[in-house]
Amino acid sequence: MGKGPLSFRRLSSIRRRKKGSAVKDDASQTSTPSSPPPPPPINAGGQIVGGTGKAKKKAGGARLWMRFDRTGAMEVVECDKSTIIKRASVPARDLRILGPVFSHSSNILAREKAIVVNLEVIKAIVTAEEVLLLDPLRPEVLPFVERLKQQFPQRNGTDNRPPDL
């Protein structure tokens, strides 16, 4: 096996010669098996040079989030993806729906510990402990932030709920 005219070995060697720009002599081909090529060099910017010609994407920077805890206290924080993944216990693939690719489609993902919401301009992660709202200072999001503030009980301990009968 492997000696016939249609064997895999023979086709791969023929194919290799066709793709190469120059034909190598038989002495260089019969030497020890070639070692794997060295990894492509990395320049100072962190992008891969060479290889397939495509540059590796840079990691996304930190984005602005508004955090509401269960008491209604809110704070604006700047977090990157890895921090949000750890904090909300959601897989990285679930954060893709909050990105620009899916910005014009509405999605709600229910996970074990969180709900990921993308309603075109309203992008949030809801957990049992907190609500994380992405880009809270956008003009389209500000009315939603005001409504969300009203849904939480007052900070001084009084509730907006009607008394139980």
| CATH number assigned to the domain covering 63-151 | 2.40.128.330
With cut-offs at 50, 70 and 90, classify the pLDDT of residue 9. Answer: low
Alpha carbons 128 and 88: distance in angstroms, whole number: 10
> Under a CB-based contact definition with an 8 Å cutoff, are residues 55 and 42 in contact?
no
Q: What is the pLDDT of residues 115-165, one digit of tens each?
A: 999 998 999 999 999 999 999 999 999 999 999 888 877 655 555 555 555
Q: H-helix or E-strand containing 68?
A: strand 63-69
pLDDT in tens, 55-64: 444 456 889 9
Output the pTM of the full model.
0.58
Show me where the domains of the chain are located. 63-151
Provide the 8-state DSSP code for 151: H
Distance CA 116, CA 107 (A): 8
